[in-house]
Structures are given as structure tokens and as C-alpha cells.
Chains A and B, each alone.
Chain A
């Protein structure tokens, strides 16, 4: 019974971690075809901004988290305008040498990986130069829940709850709002969307901003439980990456399902081997197998099964 509870908590932990890590990345990858290897560093921005908001500006934690997310979102928009779409450099280029200087990174998967990795290097090192090797942390709120001889941080339960909220909110935005419709139209067929009057440039910019904001939110949420170092983004990156790709084309459902599956694998192995390291390894191996055997990701697989079912006998 106790072990079952342990397992349940480990699962919630893994699930929340994967979903929150992946949310922002999934949106950017799914919609813009850009792989943001600086995603971990966006989380860093959110975490640091939140921490500073508390330690330097004395804001209460929830407010600080909002601040952290917003800062990251704005930063993301700045990045989008300069590096991803090349808007600013090209604007400069048009006025100086009369031509575009760079091409947008949309749908250039390999190039976007390399470029954003460069960005992440700059960000991590800048953080180290500006703020040193670590900064003062924010304490974990809420205390613990006790059961048997174990106790579990209540805050981590909160995180699990928030991760579900994020999924629900994303689903709502995608399917129920005008903005969401525009986004899905652009995702499906950019040319047609443009022809129908959708400002695809602005959609991309806002989407990247939202994805960055979500990354910032993740950083903000995890700030109380992590050690604040410039490299804190690393632990999120691979899991996020893997969850996005294993999830497949459907942004919300894919993230939810891969969070569930990968979280379950990780939690089970962690429970059995008593080692989070092996849990992590198991998660990564499971992801490799998923990529090999389910080339469209989980939701891609579901779609294929559904269409095959449609074909009838």
C-alpha cells in the first residue's frame, strides 16, 4: 500500500516534470517546425527571474512566478524577432545593403538545432558571467504530506496539478479561441492560411512568445525545488525533447500521452531499482524504442490506427 503510494507519487512527479518541461517546446516544434535547443535556457530565465523577483524585489512567490513567465515570454519574442524569423536583421539589411541577411529558421530542423544551441551557449555563459555559479534560492512552500514513514512534498503535488491545468488551458486555447484556430490553420498550411488573411508572421511571433512563456512558467514553478545554477536547464532539455517527439503531431494530446507513458516508465524503474538515474535511463531508452517503432509518435500512431480502422474489413 505504501509502495503503491510511493509509485503513485513518483509517477505524478515524472508526469508533471515531463509535461511542464515539454509544453513550451511542443508548441514551438509542432507549430513552427523549429527545434529550440535553448529551451532549457528559457526555463533558466524563468527560474532566475522568479528567484530574483523574490530575493531582490521582495515579491510574493505567486506574483514572482507570473513575473518570471512574462519576462521569459518577452525574451522569447525578442529571440524570435532576431534569430528565428530574422525579422530584425533583415530589416537592418534592407536598409543598409538592400537585401535580406538571413532566412527564417521555420521548418529547418537541423539548422534550428544548431542555431539555438549557439544561443543556449551564449545564455548559459552569460548567466554564469553575470550572476556567478549559483544564486540564492527560494524556499519550497507548503511543507509535506506524511504517510507511513514517508513524506512527500506537498508542493510537488501542486506541480502535478498545475501540469494538468496547463494541458487543459492549452487545449482550450487551441480549440476554443480565434487565436488557436489561426494557429492551427497556420500549422496545417501556411500558404492557405496567409491567403485567408491570417497574419502568419504575427502568429509565429506570438506562438514563440507563448512557448517561451510556458518554458518560463516551468522555470518559475520549479525554482523552489531546484538549485539555482546556470546549467539547470540541462536536466529539462532532453526529457522535453524526447517527450515532444514521442508525443507526435498533436500538440496537447501528444504531450499528455508521452508525459504519461514516459513518466510511467521512469517511475516504475525508479521504484524497482531505487535509483532515479536508472529511471532516467529507462525513460531515454523507452523514447528511443518509441521513435524507432512509432515513427509518427504516439498520436501519429493513433491516427494511423484510426484510419486503418476506417478502411473497414
Chain B
């Protein structure tokens, strides 16, 4: 019961952080005004005494951005937790099997060619990027299966790393040779939540929710996998099916996230560890806890990136590590000594 309450409290805290991040920014908008603006936008209430610019900033710029950061933070953390368990490697993360390298290459190709797919329109770049990201992971898995029929974790990680470096090398070459689009490529690779709109949130939400829900149906298998592959086999887990399925779902979560916001690291690596510190190793708790902790952590990192030196914007990828590393050390050592 105690852990149940912990989870409820975490959920409440998590969501209130999201609301708080909406209050802060270049224009401070107090919670009362937020309600006012939401009433105006959602229920068509009159916008007395408030500037339409503040309303636009909150509704069209800040909120979609904060929600996007929250969703991506959650998704990356969940997939990080799963990857660490499946590969039994505390350093594994959502990016281990080359998702981000592949997605970045896909994005670079769209930027360089100016490609627009008729069915994807404005979303061509994220679509192509996620397809490339997913394909890279499937190639990595396919190669790992050829090298090592029983697909040991070491093989998967090694093949993933090598393929990742290989794809990154192509990306570096492409970037170096394309001076005309250097700015777009470099900025895309740095990752950012800037310029995200509700239409992006609307596309990302169902994909990420589906991925997380499917993963949460497999928590029992993940628990067994953490004890090692022999135990998992003897417990009747069909490794050759479950492992690719779990990794594929992680790739879906990460690939979708990277495709929309670029590669933003660190959160996916540390949030699962923090979640395990607080809630123990059972995946029934680790997965929701990772989602509930990763979301606000990313939303806060993004808040810091757009407010600390406002009007200047800092790269969010640097902020996640700058505030994440001390937070991680605090949680880890406090719990250990306590």
C-alpha cells in the first residue's frame, strides 16, 4: 500500500510540475490568468483585460512546448528503463541501438533534399526520421541475430554501438559536405522543443501512449529477464520473440521522440535508475514511475533552457545533463546513506 501512495503522490507532483512550467517564461502568466486563457481558448470565454499576445504565448507556444517536453521525457525514460532491463546493462539507454543516429540521418536527408511526401506534408521530416530510426534498430537486431543465433546481450549492444557509429559517420560526412544546410543540420542534431505546436502533440501522443501501454503489458517478462536469460528460458519466456518485441517498442518510442525534437540525452539514462531507487526493481512500478519522473524532468529542463538567460535560449540537451547529473547524485547517495 505504501508504494501505491508513493505512486499517487508522484503522479500528482508530476502533473503539477507540468502546470507550473506553463506559468514561467519571458512573460510570467499567473495561474489565475492561465485558467482565464484556457477558458477563452477552450470555452470561448471573453478575454477581458489580458493581452491577446499573452494568450497566444501561453496557448500556442508555451503549452504545446511544455506538453511535448513532458511526453518525450516520459517516453524516453520508459524506453530507457526497458532497454536497461532487457539488455541487463545499466548504461544502456534508448539510444543504444542507433535510433538517434538513424533518425538524424533520415532528418538530414529530408533537410538536404527538401523532400516532401504528399501524405505526410509538413510532417515529412519526422516521418522519414522515425522510419530511419526504426530501420536502424531492425538492421542492428537482424545483424545481431546473424552473428549470434541466441542473441546474447553483449552481441546486441556491440552490434548496436558499431552500427550507430557507422551511421553517425555517414551523417558527419553528409554534414561536412553540405555547407548550404549546415545550420539546419547542426541545430536539428542539438535537439530542441522550440516551435512545437499542438499538431505535433496530436501526432505524438497516440504513438507514445500505445508504445507505453504495450510495454506495460510485458512487465512480468521484463522482471524475469532481469534475472538473466537462462532463468528467463526456464521460466518459459520466449526470448527470441519477447526480446525483439520489447526492443522494437522502445525503438518506436525513441524514434518518434527523436524525429520530432532531435536527440536529447541523459533523461533516458538516469530517470530509470532514480525510479528503481525509489520504487524498487519491479517493472510494474518502474515503468509508470519512469514515465511520471521523466516527464517533469524534461519539462523542467526545457523550462530552464528557455528562462534562465531569457530572452536567450540554451540548448536543452546541455541543460538535461547540467541539472540531471547533480539530481541523480543526490537521489542515489541520499537513498544509499539513508
Asked if A and B bind, the verdict is no
